[in-house]
Structure 1
């Protein structure tokens, strides 16, 4: 009888522990509700319409990536989206000018990698020449950086955070380079794709 009672208590406590929410990734425990130290002035006035815009230069598009834009995914997001839930489509051979903003004191970065790379702990080198901030594995805190690259090869890529273990935990957005695309577009979540203006 005591053995059955002990087994029942052990099973009940195991079930209770299993029902507890998952622990956020290291360094992001405060991001579940609020993001302490966030310098919102770094992205003040930037809206969804600014995330993808045509440049004055021919076949050139401007992309803004803001790390920790919201508390979604414990702050590991770009422009409020994670796990590839926003999709940038760029016509092949266009130049992409990226402004990366990290208003958080926690280091983040931005780098373009093949889509399958996001399953790895470390991102390695950018897929396209110049397609990332300097030292993406170190990251930047409370700062801005710019980089540009030519999307000269069709395929499925990602704008990923190059800080170790961030991309594998969802800190990436989809980037498709297509020879069929006539203009750059951005699809945010379930919303229809919008053409850059």
Structure 2
């Protein structure tokens, strides 16, 4: 009974029912989220979200949780609900820097896109594709992980903390066997190739 009440309260909370606010065009931190360790993401811009790596067929991604106040802070790089789309060619190496400047725990994990509809994410889809203990999350710190995108399909870069992804804390990750280069589409803007 207690478990059912907890689940009901989670699903009917303002976070579960909230519509995603539009991310600011310039990603300025117009509304302050209290307690952020701002030095962890100072100077990071859209140009830093995806870059080519030093080695061939390698792409580097930066995911900043609580980048802005959009979606009550449950966003990566100011976007949520899959409104930013990373497209990676199949068999590329992906190196991810995850930053959470917030005292509220968040994490990052690659899962099948349908998993974002669940309260818990489980294990990462690809070997190594997530921070350690994503269900516990990390606060006010950085973490790195890397994986090989060795299977085409529709995936998500999701927060693995329970109930965060179902409330929109995820971005789309498409692994493509036809793409020639990695691209990133932010909201309604055209996709941009990694440099």
Is this a same-fold pair by TM over 0.5?
yes
Structure 1 unpaired stretches of 5+: 1-21, 26-32
Indicate conservation of the 8 Å contact 2:15/2:167, yes or no: no
SS of aligned partner of 2:115: helix
SS of aligned partner of 2:39: helix
Q: CA deviation at 1:103?
A: 0.3
- CA distance in 1: counterparts of 2:110 and 2:15, whole angstroms: 25
Structure 1 stretches of 4+ with a deviation exceeding 3 A read: none
Identify the match of residue 79 of structure 1 among 64, 77, 80: 77
Q: CA deviation at 1:24?
A: 3.7
- CA distance in 2: counterparts of 1:95 and 1:24, whole angstroms: 34
- CA distance in 1: counterparts of 2:150 and 2:170, whole angstroms: 21
Aligned to 1:58: 56
Q: CA deviation at 1:65?
A: 0.2
Q: How does 1:118-197 map to 2 (within 5 A)?
A: 118-197=116-195
1:76-98 residue CA offsets vs partner (Å, 9 max, x unmatched): 00000000000000000000000
- CA distance in 2: counterparts of 1:166 and 1:24, whole angstroms: 9
Q: CA deviation at 1:35?
A: 1.1
Aligned to 2:112: 114
SS of aligned partner of 1:88: strand
Q: CA deviation at 1:104?
A: 0.2
1:36-91 residue CA offsets vs partner (Å, 9 max, x unmatched): 10111100111100000001101000000000000000000000000000000000
- CA distance in 2: counterparts of 1:176 and 1:75, whole angstroms: 24
Indicate conservation of the 8 Å contact 2:88/2:181, yes or no: yes
State the aligned residue count: 169
Structure 2 unpaired stretches of 5+: 1-12, 17-30
Q: CA deviation at 1:23?
A: 2.7
Indicate conservation of the 8 Å contact 2:94/2:147, yes or no: yes
- CA distance in 2: counterparts of 1:36 and 1:83, whole angstroms: 23
SS of aligned partner of 1:73: helix
